[in-house]
Structure 1
Amino acid sequence: MSKRIFSKRMVIMLIILAVVFGLIFGFKAFMGKMMNDFFDNMPQPAAAVSTYEARQDNWASILEAVGTVNAVNGVNVTAQVPGEVEAIEFESGDSVKKGDVLIRLEAAADRAQLNALEATAGLARQEYDRYQRLFKQGSISRSELDNRRAQRDQAVAQAQAQREQLNYKTVRAPFDGVLGIRQVDLGQFLQAGTPVVSLNQLQPIFVDFALPEQELSRIEKGLKVRVTLDAYTDQQFEGEISAIEPGVSEATRNVSVQARFENEDNKLRPGMFASVDIQLPQSEDVVVIPRTAISYAPYGNAVFVVKDAPQKGETGENEESDADSEKKAEGADKIVKKRFVKLGRRRGDLVAVIDGLKPGEVVATSGLLKLRNDAAVTIENDVQPSADATPTPGNS
């Protein structure tokens, strides 16, 4: 009997505990739902933004490419014959003219050999002159005279060859240009072909780049080209197309193009990376906005278009309920709508919008990180982000 009563009491206690814990967890779930509903329905404070009205502009058509700066002439000056460096006649970074002496190799033995060969050549000339007189007197045959002529010519040629060999002992600049860093030392023994110093002609200079074959019909020699260098980001350099490769690469389907620049200040150096803009004679109408108005994202670029907040009883662009729209617009008379756009070329602080925006529509240009679709905003245009097509540094 007592055992049955004990079991009954245990069942009652378990039921009571289950009810108590159920009430506790139920209360917590209820409170959580109420808090979530409160935060979900809590009016969002209006974000302060600056705005810009999208406008239509006429931009010159431009093709963009990336290129590399190359010298008209650029070589590593080398020694043509072996020898020990006797004198160095230049400093690293010097500007030189064609024919200027760069280094001299030790050449005492070569000069002595040249003297010996010139003496032999002189004797051969005298012998030939004597034999020529004898031939006129009938004392010798024509074959003997011809043999002496051959000996004379051979001796002269050997002396000339030695003279050229001696000239190779003096290394000269092959063209006008700017020297690099010296790569040899005084007293160093050089083998033939050993680099002495780099030499590059910097005026004029070329920029080589490639364009897709689809653009071949739009370019021609003489078109103006502008390049920007990473070393001089605030400066553009102007040149013109000087050559177009007649064939198209089968591997890339690109055509190689070369532009010529005067480079009077020697700022363009071989090997530099260059951003290239080719100015075409045609122009196009574009819708432009500041680059600060673009929200960049991997899944697509977007802008926040400023709209009038829906009044009570109206519905927003996304067919939201009246209560939802009024809640999001509370405290402000403007809201923003996120809209994905397709971007085109950039010019200074401006960017062209190819698709997704019309002239006259107003976009937010600051505070984008605080915005989301249908967020309430207030407009403060006291401080405007830069929106200049040709910006210049403030210290210029």
Structure 2
Amino acid sequence: MSSRKSRLIRRLLVVLGLVIVVYGGVIGFSRYMGAKFLDAMADMPRPPVSVSVAKAGIMIWPQTLSAVASLKSIQGASLSPQSAGTVTGLFFDSGDLVKKGQLLLQLNDNVARAQLASAQARLINARLVRDRQQDLIKRHAISQASLDQAVADFREAKAAVQQAQAVLTDLQLRAPFDGHLGIREVALGQYVAPGTIVTSIEQWNPLRLIFSLPQHDIMRIKIGDPVHLLVQGLNKKGFDGKVNAIDASVDARTRDIQIEARIDNPNERLRSGMYGVVQVILKQDQQTLAVPQTAITFKSYGAYLYVIEHKQDADVAIARSVQTGRHHQGYVAITQGLKAGERVVIAGQVKLHNGARVQIVPAPKALLHPSMENKQGLNP
């Protein structure tokens, strides 16, 4: 019985050994074939990356001076009454567009009207006395002194009427010019004193644009030079205007000179107090080496792009660091690291690495010519 068990155990061990040998062989063969496949794949050349290119070219750009600018209204004021009194009439709402002379606020004028009526009555009486004295002097019935006194009394009564009318006028608040009102700060029935702010008023078109430039740019700017303003979040095309005034002196602390321009604001989208970036467009044009801005990649260590070079019967992309300058209508000026005529990648950089083989495909017109006039040498 024990010999039979021993034979059975030996057979099981033999079978188990065969299974292990076969399994190990399969695993080893699979690994061997996998390694061979990876070696074969490593030896295979990578397929070229499809990219679009453009040539770096010389472009004619207008010379500009840039600065941060603030907008101010041509006319603006805080409105307040000249007299004290209780508000009996409010004839505007916050934000109203008003015309020059439009009545905005009325203070209690009962006393002033009574004083005006009294002054007018005295004027009527003084006029009658004067006219009577003029008739009497012709008949030599009175002295010249009596007539002179009557004339003086008439003039005094007339001045009193004018004064009473002025007091009555001061109890009203009217718009000093056409413009947009601000927030209403008073209520009906409120007592106000002289100088109490009722609201504000501003003209929005055109607007004043105030900015400063370094003193060495004084001789480059002239009255009438065009300016272009960009305000974040508003019209992407910007707003145009002209230099209106140049300050008479340079700031002794900053060595900057203040410039004022007038900006057209026909749709009144701009507001006083806004800021933006202004470019003063000088008369002289400038030749600039530039590429489409999509060619440039910015990293923490600087800007770079891919230049196409022909090596071993293939086009390859070579990463190159460059120095960039101004941006203008979809292009970037290159001040160092590139020559005119060199081909640069403007689309497809995501899949590129330094030395990668590339296949050049046509570039979309929107990338090749992003709205720029007087361009030269930018075709692929």
**Considering the TM-score relative to the shorter chain, is it more than 0.5?**
yes
Q: TM-score range by the shorter chain?
A: 0.7 to 0.9
Q: Give the Cα separation in 1 of the matches to 2:300 and 2:235.
A: 26
For normalisation by structure 1, the TM-score amounts to 0.71
The corresponding residue for 2:291 is 289
The corresponding residue for 1:390 is 371
1:227 to 223, 226, 229: 229
Q: How does 1:168-183 map to 2 (within 5 A)?
A: 168-183=170-185
The corresponding residue for 1:344 is 325
Q: Give the Cα separation in 2 of the matches to 1:367 and 1:78.
A: 64
- Asked if 1 retains the 8 angstrom alpha-carbon contact of 2:70 and 2:209, the reply is yes
Task: Please say if 1:112 is aligned against 2:114.
Answer: yes
- Asked if 2 retains the 8 angstrom alpha-carbon contact of 1:347 and 1:389, the reply is no
- Asked if 2 retains the 8 angstrom alpha-carbon contact of 1:78 and 1:192, the reply is yes
1:349 counterpart letter in structure 2: G
| Backbone CA RMSD of aligned residues | 3.1
**Residue identity (%):** 33
Q: How does 1:33-112 map to 2 (within 5 A)?
A: 51-112=53-114
Q: Give the Cα separation in 1 of the matches to 2:371 and 2:79.
A: 43
The superposition leaves residues 262-306 of structure 1 with CA deviations (integer Å, 9 ceiling, x where unpaired) of: 322222221121221222221111111232333334554333434
Q: Tell me: CA distance 1:120–1:298, structure 2 relative to 1, closer, same or farther (3 Å).
A: farther
The corresponding residue for 1:323 is none
Q: SS at the partner of 2:237?
A: strand
The corresponding residue for 1:305 is 307
The superposition leaves residues 44-84 of structure 1 with CA deviations (integer Å, 9 ceiling, x where unpaired) of: 97877654432221112222222112211111221111122
Q: Give the Cα separation in 2 of the matches to 1:132 and 1:68.
A: 66
Q: Give the Cα separation in 1 of the matches to 2:359 and 2:252.
A: 55
Q: Tell me: CA distance 1:59–1:267, structure 2 relative to 1, closer, same or farther (3 Å).
A: same
Name structure 1 gaps, 5 residues minimum: 1-41, 312-331, 392-396
The corresponding residue for 2:20 is none
- Asked if 2 retains the 8 angstrom alpha-carbon contact of 1:307 and 1:337, the reply is no
Task: Please say if 1:362 is aligned against 2:343.
Answer: yes
Q: Tell me: CA distance 1:233–1:131, structure 2 relative to 1, closer, same or farther (3 Å).
A: closer
- Asked if 2 retains the 8 angstrom alpha-carbon contact of 1:309 and 1:335, the reply is no
The corresponding residue for 1:251 is 253
Q: SS at the partner of 1:296?
A: strand
The corresponding residue for 2:278 is 276
The corresponding residue for 2:375 is none
Worse-superposed segment, 61-70 or 153-162: 153-162
The corresponding residue for 1:376 is 356
Query: 1:215 Cα deviation (Å)?
Result: 1.8
2:243 counterpart letter in structure 1: I
Name structure 2 gaps, 5 residues minimum: 1-41, 373-380
Q: Tell me: CA distance 1:54–1:241, structure 2 relative to 1, closer, same or farther (3 Å).
A: same
Q: Tell me: CA distance 1:239–1:141, structure 2 relative to 1, closer, same or farther (3 Å).
A: closer
For normalisation by structure 2, the TM-score amounts to 0.74
Q: Give the Cα separation in 2 of the matches to 1:192 and 1:54.
A: 67
Query: 1:233 Cα deviation (Å)?
Result: 4.0
Q: Give the Cα separation in 2 of the matches to 1:223 and 1:208.
A: 14
What is the count of residue pairs matched by the alignment? 327
1:338 counterpart letter in structure 2: R
Worse-superposed segment, 130-139 or 170-179: 130-139
The superposition leaves residues 7-60 of structure 1 with CA deviations (integer Å, 9 ceiling, x where unpaired) of: xxxxxxxxxxxxxxxxxxxxxxxxxxxxxxxxxxx9997877654432221112
Q: SS at the partner of 1:110?
A: helix
Q: Give the Cα separation in 2 of the matches to 1:105 and 1:210.
A: 44
The superposition leaves residues 78-134 of structure 1 with CA deviations (integer Å, 9 ceiling, x where unpaired) of: 111112221222233222221111121221111012112222333344444455556
Q: Give the Cα separation in 1 of the matches to 2:105 and 2:369.
A: 54
Q: SS at the partner of 2:180?
A: strand
Query: 1:308 Cα deviation (Å)?
Result: 4.6
Q: SS at the partner of 1:386?
A: helix
Q: Give the Cα separation in 2 of the matches to 1:296 and 1:226.
A: 27
Q: How does 1:127-146 map to 2 (within 5 A)?
A: 127-130=129-132, 137=140, 139-140=142-143, 142=145, 145-146=147-148
